[in-house]
Amino acid sequence: MEDKNKKGQNLNQKDSSSFKFDEDAKKRQLNDYMENPAGQYITTDQGVRINDIDNSLKVGERGPTIMEDFIFRERMTRFDHESIPERIVHARGSAAHGYFQPYKSWAEYTKAKFLQDPNIKTPVFVRLSTVIGSRGSADTVRDVRGFATKFYTEDGNYDLVGNNMAPFFIQDGMKFPDLVHALKPEPDNEMPQASAAHDTFWDFASLMPEISHMLMWVLSDRAIPRSFRMMEGFGVHTFRWINKEGKGTFVKLHWRPLLGTHSLVWDEAQKLAGKDPDWLRRDLWEAIEMGDYPEFELCVQLIDEKDEHSFDFDLLDPTKIVPEELVPLQRVGKMVLNRNPDNFFAETEQVAFHPGNVVPGIDVTNDPLLQARLFSYIDTQLNRFHSANFTEIPINRPVVPVHNFHGAGFMKQTINKGKINYTPNSLGGGYPKTAPEEENGYVHYQEKVEGHKIRKRSKSFQDHFSQATLFWNSMSQVEQKHIVKALHFELGKVQSKEVRMRMVNEILNNISHELATKVAMGIGIDPPSSPAASKVKDTAENVKKAVVDKVTPGKSVEDSPALSMERTKKTDSIKSRKVAILIDNGFSYQELMAVKKALTEKGAHPKIVSMYRGMVKSADGQEVEVDKSHITTDSVMYDAIFIPGGKDSVEAMKKQGDVLHFINEAFKHCKPIGALSDGVDLLMSSDIKGVKLAEMGKKGELVNEDGVVTIRDASDLSQFNTAFIEAIGQHRHWMREDKMEVPA
């Protein structure tokens, strides 16, 4: 027996001489765990070679993902359990409590109770987040933003877990681990943090044409929102609403902010990451504390099942949108966020969302990305909380009673009384028991499913460029210019010339020859000589040239103004906008107070900015308190600036570099600027160029050019206040980007 044991040990151990502490032995040991991947095949953790790592196992090409797909479950489980205890994605979040109230009954389309009575307010908890960065990363990085809403309904919890961008990067959840691995900091050096501007992401993107549409959104200004309160939300997937008669209707869900959709500019976003990395979090918190409650309208696109195949894209493809010109939005109700969390960890950090948390009247579809999320989210929560009892944490607990026979487990909080913990039973009178459909028991939509078990995507998923082109064509000139600059930054950080060439020639040129040409000029790549021959590629062979036919030649549009933030109607409200008032000793108290009063009455928040904190004295001896000193603030933290008159104040500020930089920078970022009487002279001392200012000889003339509002005669400020408030309501004055650049 002893010899047999020794023989067994020898079979499982290496000769001890191989573990000598010399450099060669260390290399051999390391190679046991990290082999050269050249010539190797991808395998499962059990060593089984995988022949398709792009598609989950489905019932037919457009059918649901099936549970027996052990390859998908292994990949997703390993991915979900990579990070402890921080979320792998959406780690940095902010949240708020509030309520949702429908405008009318939607019983024609859904039996969901919270969508029936306009007099009922349903409590909600909303978590808004970045995706790629860690909990310690900055708020203003270029990234997708999560927009997750938990409705505490009388039927149980319903989670609408979306993003601030309508499409997604990939079509099948099987690729999600690869997407996030490529996006995250590179594994050898853990850099860069919260940024896609590195080789591994763009290498992945250049080989995955299905990512093209989402790239356009991420490279647009939507990826750097001005505020969570000024950010759209999308459900991403196509879901189903089901009414009491069992009729199903496809539905796409949107959140529209009542303040309008606004963004930062890239230079501003980068500076805010250093000046105030908590910018979006602080903005949301302070707005709620001041009573500027964020408001969003829930809107839907409803599509009859008979029209499922009437578009030139597949409704189940998460990389596609339904243009509003084809299916207009309908306003369902309003959500108001009116209370900050009491404890960040207990609520914002511990809230757990899951796309499978649906209520009667709402169901999922066979979207292969959504099917993957139905597994991944619950598995991720099990990893984070180390227990299935995370549902009993207060923030996750429904407002209705929970009755079931789930067992104990780590962190069990519910105290189940009695001896009955099984069903069926007679000792407990048979309770709790299942609820029939007429008692609002959840019943899945009865959809006919048939087909072979297969790892394949429908051909209707193979057009990867048309909607990317649609997005590009729908942008204003300013927005297109910003996308080009974003690509100059992102691809300019990529060291591999091969990757840059592939992105320009195989991806961007299929979207727009104009786009590819402009981007190539900025990243050291020869521009493509002609437009791509086809915009439809076969994804199976990593961007090969094989052309495939469009399968569903249906309804489409060439231009969608709704995709553009600049081409859509803006709210003219200045509610909650922050206005910096630059002063020093000797300012005009009358001018300051008159403009401040007008701004406050319209809901804006004027803040006094001066060299030091404390009190500043006006020309006639009155004092006001400074809100922010130069060293603690910057123009990037405000939506507009105002300079009142007062000769001594203006002369002092002419000598202060921080003030001149403040003005130059605000001008560069196309923000509204207002100045009265002597304050106009301060603008003349700055480096802003190309706009007309009020002249000394024309004291009564109001000059309003490109968002710079000036007047010399301050005896009647009503005209100035009206013009300045209108300028703030426009948010940005992009025509200035064509003016001479200022040194800021």
How far apart CA 363 and CA 377 sit, in angstroms, is 17
Give dist(CA 70, CA 261) in Å, integer: 42
Token duo for residue 361:
């009247």
- 3-state DSSP assignment of residue 350: coil
The position carrying tokens 């149980």 is: 156
Query: Distances from the Cα of 289 to the Cαs of 283, 307, 341, in angstroms?
Result: 10, 46, 11
- Helix (H) or strand (E) holding 267, with range, is helix 266-275
Catalytic residue (one of 55, 157, 163, 510): 163
- Is 612 in contact with 627 (CB distance < 8 Å)? no
CB neighbour class for 203 (10 Å; exposed up to 12, middle 13-18, buried from 19): middle
Distance of CA 8 to the CA centre of its chain: 55
How many residues does the structure list for the chain?
Answer: 744
Write the single-letter amino acid at 169.
F
Which one-letter DSSP state was computed for residue 540?
Answer: G
Which residue is catalytic, options 90, 254, 464, 661? Answer: 90
DSSP H or E run through 377: helix 368-385
Alpha helices in 140-194 (DSSP H): 176-183
End-to-end CA distance of the chain: 82
Instruction: Please state the φ and ψ torsions of residue 587, each to the nearest 5 degrees.
Output: -70, 165
- Enumerate the β-bridge partners of residue 581: 608, 642
Annotation marks residue 90 as catalytic: yes
Beta strand ranges found along 385-446 (DSSP E)? none
Indicate if 416 belongs to the active site: no
Token pair in block for residue 698: 């024309």
- Strands, E, within 103-174: which ranges? 122-130, 145-153, 156-163
Give phi and psi for 631, each to the nearest 5: -75, -20
> Which of helix, strand or coil describes residue 257?
strand
Active site residues: 90, 163
